[in-house]
């Protein structure tokens, strides 16, 4: 049996290695258009920023090591230019010699990946504009920084890669700005969770321009929809689209986006041709709808599944839930499953909860708080999404929540999880448990919520009592107009000041004391609602980040 794999990164390399482990006798060929295979594409920004210092560390395997370890014929600088599925023949061009030749196959795996989108705007082909997909792209950016000595950079696009590039360009000593068309960075987050990211990234000296797009590039000047920026270099990070021209030309079915349509066994519409990785349409694990979620972890799993099916082992891919994490200086930003926008688009009747909990026991030095948000389906109570923004401990909490979603856990099941505890690592009531406790209180009616978006709609005509239960010191640092202050510890003694015939809307700093206040008030016959996420979330979401005006005198 002879299998040819087109594309030697992530899914392709994973498929090749798995295939060899399952079948020692088959002939396996990898065709890779570029010079490198099995490289750490997720690590590319960190080489630019200097965290990864040795270029060789980006290459996980070489053609020689792959051949020695797996007895696989790896042909770099060899581009598949045509597939004849009837004859099962591929036409290949050797990019070093410009010669073409043909290879027959029994099975074919396509892993061409996705390429960066280049918007159709004037000036986009300027030599100071870069994209980041592979090691040569990385070396071009690195060389430009070292030789041209740019003082400033603009990243167009505020997704995961864009934000990682902003951090690493800052680490390389540049003055960095990020331009994002949406109202917040990192699309998998909801706006309220991204608000903490906006504040932190600006504290680190990176300017962000939200709700703004690029109209044109004119020399060193970027003309925005609103304003302009002068810069010495530009990195495009506005998303990717599947690179599937080869598949289209040979008649493989694609969707409207251009992604290859595969079944759960990674088979395309043409027998004996499989496809994996960023070029394919996947099924969203939560909604069961077709989606495009290009991630390295799923690509590797898909390569393994394709190999299994080629050798006759029944294996299926059950969908992508979009679990991902981002390092932003010392901050960690993680998400899995659906955010509110996607849940609404899917027509799911959901509820949500927020907590603000410590990474480990507060009395042990070094504890830091993390902001956690979870969504669940009101009908089934199954968790459908989670987001965490914080510092230490974000990754392990998100991994627990991602696993809970994968195995169909209800939000209330989080109360029963027995997680590892010692003061340096966590709390006896872990943040994951606390999330379950808060959700259970909401579901069982022990507390009713209102949200930061609802504050401006609250009645200020005396038909409701608006109550702030923070301390006087906290109130002095900022407050919501129209709320009377009775600190929680004085509430029972002063409860007579609150009319019983009106609903009461309560807030504190994080939502913990306002919940306690609502339990006191409810126990005394009041109709009480508390502000989910508290003043901390409200203030972060409502107070906009302002970008200082930049007057340029050196643009060419």
For residue 416, how many other CB atoms are within 10 A of its CB? 10
Pairing between β-strand 107-110 and β-strand 100-104 as defined by DSSP bridges: unpaired
Residue 60 to residues 18, 74, 112, 296, 463, Cα–Cα distance (Å): 16, 14, 18, 14, 66
Contact yes or no for 517/506 (Cβ under 8 A) = yes
Q: How far apart are CA 14 and CA 301, in angstroms?
A: 8
Pairing between β-strand 350-358 and β-strand 465-468 as defined by DSSP bridges: unpaired
Q: Could you tell me which residues come within 8 angstroms of residue 17 by beta carbon, excluding any fewer than 6 positions away?
A: 70, 72
Q: What's the DSSP call for residue 300?
A: H
- Told to judge if 42 belongs to the known catalytic residues of this protein, a careful annotator would answer yes
Q: How far apart are CA 413 and CA 512, in angstroms?
A: 21
Q: How far apart are CA 51 and CA 138, in angstroms?
A: 14
Place of tokens 């990176």: 206
Contact yes or no for 237/116 (Cβ under 8 A) = yes
Q: Is 475 exposed, middle or buried (0-12, 13-18, 19+ CB in 10 A)?
A: middle
Q: How many residues does the chain have?
A: 556
Q: What are phi and psi of 304, to 5 degrees?
A: -65, -40
Query: In the structure encoding, which two tokens stand for residue 549, read together?
Result: 């005006």
Q: How far apart are CA 547 and CA 556, in angstroms?
A: 23
Give CA torsion, residues 438, 440, 446, 448, to 10 deg: 60
Q: How far apart are CA 204 and CA 22, in angstroms?
A: 49
Strands (E), 393-527: 448-450, 465-468, 484-485, 504-507
Q: How far apart are CA 117 and CA 161, in angstroms?
A: 13
Q: Could you tell me which residues come within 8 angstroms of residue 80 by beta carbon, excluding any fewer than 6 positions away?
A: 6, 31, 33, 90, 91, 92, 246
Contact yes or no for 285/383 (Cβ under 8 A) = no
Name the catalytic one among 42, 250, 472, 552: 42
- The residues assigned a catalytic role are 42
């Amino acid at each position: 049996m002879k299998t040819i794999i087109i594309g030697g990164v992530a899914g392709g390399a994973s498929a090749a290695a798995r295939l060899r482990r399952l079948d020692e006798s088959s002939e396996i060929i990898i065709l890779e258009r570029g010079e490198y295979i099995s490289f750490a594409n997720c690590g590319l920004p960190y080489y630019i920023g200097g965290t990864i210092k040795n270029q060789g560390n980006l290459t996980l395997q070489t053609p020689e090591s792959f051949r020695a370890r797996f007895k696989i014929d790896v042909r770099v600088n060899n581009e598949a230019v045509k597939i004849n599925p009837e004859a099962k023949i591929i036409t290949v061009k050797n990019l070093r010699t410009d010669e073409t030749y043909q290879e027959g196959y029994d099975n074919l795996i396509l892993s061409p990946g996705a390429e960066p989108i280049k918007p159709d705007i004037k000036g986009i082909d300027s030599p100071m504009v870069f994209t980041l997909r592979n090691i040569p792209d990385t070396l071009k950016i690195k060389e430009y920084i070292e030789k041209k000595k740019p003082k400033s950079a603009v990243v167009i696009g505020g997704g995961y890669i864009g934000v990682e590039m902003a951090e690493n360009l800052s680490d390389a000593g540049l003055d960095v700005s990020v331009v994002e068309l949406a109202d917040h960075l990192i699309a998998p987050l909801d706006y309220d969770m991204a608000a903490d990211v906006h504040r932190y990234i600006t504290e680190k000296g990176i300017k962000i321009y939200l709700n703004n797009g690029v109209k044109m590039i004119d020399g060193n000047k970027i003309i925005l929809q609103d304003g302009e920026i002068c810069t010495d270099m530009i990195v495009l990070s506005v998303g990717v689209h599947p690179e599937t021209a080869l598949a289209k030309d040979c008649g493989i079915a694609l969707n409207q986006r251009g992604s290859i349509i595969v079944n759960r066994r990674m088979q395309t519409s043409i027998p004996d041709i499989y496809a994996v990785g960023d070029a394919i349409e996947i099924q969203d694990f939560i909604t069961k709808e077709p989606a495009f979620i290009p991630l390295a972890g799923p690509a590797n799993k898909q390569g393994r599944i394709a190999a299994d099916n080629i050798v006759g082992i029944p294996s299926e891919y059950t969908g992508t839930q979009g679990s991902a994490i981002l390092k932003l200086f010392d901050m960690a930003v993680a998400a899995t499953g659906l955010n509110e926008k996607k849940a609404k688009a899917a027509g799911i009747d959901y509820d949500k909860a927020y907590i603000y909990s410590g990474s480990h026991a507060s009395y042990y030095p070094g504890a830091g708080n993390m902001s956690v948000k979870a969504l669940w389906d009101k009908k089934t109570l199954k968790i459908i999404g989670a987001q965490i923004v914080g510092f230490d401990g974000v990754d392990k909490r998100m991994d627990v929540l991602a696993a809970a979603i994968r195995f169909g856990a209800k939000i209330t099941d989080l109360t029963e999880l027995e997680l590892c505890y010692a003061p340096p690592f966590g709390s006896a009531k872990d943040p994951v448990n606390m999330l379950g406790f808060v959700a259970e209180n909401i579901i069982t009616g022990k507390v009713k919520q209102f949200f930061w978006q609802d504050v401006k709609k609250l009645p200020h005509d005396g038909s409701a009592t608006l109550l702030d239960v923070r301390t006087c010191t906290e109130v002095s640092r900022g407050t919501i107009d129209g709320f009377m202050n009775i600190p929680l510890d004085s509430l029972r003694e002063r409860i007579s000041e609150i009319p019983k015939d009106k609903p009461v809307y309560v807030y504190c700093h994080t939502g913990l004391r306002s919940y306690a206040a609502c339990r006191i008030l409810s126990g005394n016959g009041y109709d009480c609602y508390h502000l989910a996420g508290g003043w901390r979330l409200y203030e972060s979401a409502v107070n906009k980040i302002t970008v200082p005006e930049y007057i340029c005198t050196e643009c060419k």
